[in-house]
Every structure is written in structure tokens, then in C-alpha cells.
């Protein structure tokens, strides 16, 4: 099941998305987490915190869950 995370802009960087979804608390934690683990964006491995996410994109974080970006 996908948890829907609302954004209020055209896109959101992956690092900010991970904080918005309450997966990680700070930018430093995001940087370290992505360097060590990475996530899957639309079933493609991603470790760049600046990756732009748009409404409809799906982010899978191993051990945490799957999240969908939605526009308000």
C-alpha cells in the first residue's frame, strides 16, 4: 500500500521529500542514508538527494514503505 505525501509545488527534491514524509529528520541524515542505502524512485535505484520528484512518482524505502507523491 502506498502512503500519499502531498506537495504544494511543481516538484520536490528527494532529500526534502524524505524529511516531509517523516522518514528522516535532517539533511545530514538524508545525505548519509542515501550514500549508504539509496531508495527506489519509480523502480529505479536512486541516491541523489537533489533528484526531482513530481506528482505520480513512487518512492520505495527498504524497511520503511512505499510513498506516492501527490499534488494538492
Residue pLDDT, tens place only, 33-53: 999 999 999 999 999 999 999
**Of the candidates 23, 41, 43, 44, the residue with the CA atom closest to the CA atom of residue 32:** 23
pLDDT of residue 1: 64
Cβ neighbour number for residue 7 with a 10 Å cutoff: 18
| pTM recorded for the entire structure | 0.92
Amino acid at each position: 500500500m502506498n502512503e500519499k505525501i502531498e506537495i504544494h509545488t511543481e516538484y520536490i527534491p528527494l532529500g526534502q521529500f524524505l524529511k516531509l514524509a517523516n522518514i528522516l529528520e535532517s539533511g545530514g541524515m538524508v545525505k548519509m542514508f542515501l550514500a549508504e542505502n539509496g531508495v527506489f524512485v519509480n523502480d529505479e535505484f536512486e541516491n541523489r538527494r537533489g533528484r526531482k520528484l513530481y506528482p505520480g512518482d513512487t518512492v520505495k524505502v527498504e524497511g520503511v514503505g512505499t510513498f506516492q507523491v501527490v499534488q494538492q
